[in-house]
Amino acid sequence: MGGRLADIWDGQQVKLTFRRTFDDNMLEKWFELEEIVKSVVYKPGGDALVWVYNSNGIYSTSSLYTIINFRGVQPVFLWLLSNNKLMTVDNLAERGIHKPLDCKFCSEKESIHHLFFECIIARQLGHTFLILMVLLSILTLIWLVNGLLRKNINPQTQSLQELFGAYG
């Protein structure tokens, strides 16, 4: 598009034309968007692009990666998992690639649901992972308390800002 806001919005009406007609559902969404645009108060003056996902306001590849990275699990994987698109042997068979249908862990029929929710080995791995996360949380808490004690900070009398400022 490459236009300015002033080119498409006169403060009363959105000045856009479309090459295609809208169905009723899309027209309803367009009217909703128009109402949102009308509710915003625009002030004269220059605008600046600010990348809100970085403390200095400037885009960086690492800040984008931080956004799309979900605690070490890529959103693409989660999408594949939730849409039954991971390449398990049952999905491969639907695409004409035939492999033995047995789960490599327990010899049941392999599927996404089986691998993530039913397989006894996968469940045990999940429980082990959960235990490790709890232990890591406890160790972090111990580390934090030891640091407070070494700095002679009493967590019962100090404010949160003072507590966390001790690590700043």
Per-residue pLDDT tens digits for 9-48: 777 777 777 788 888 888 888 888 888 777 777 666 666 7
| 80 vs 91: CA distance, rounded Å | 12
Total count of domains within the chain: 2
* Residue type, position 39, single letter: S
> Would residue 79 count as lying in a domain?
no
| 165 vs 168: CA distance, rounded Å | 5
> Would residue 45 count as lying in a domain?
no
Least confident stretch, 7-11, 55-59, 91-95, 97-101:
7-11
> Would residue 10 count as lying in a domain?
yes
Question: What three-state secondary structure class fits 49?
Answer: coil
Q: Which domain holds residue 152?
A: 123-168
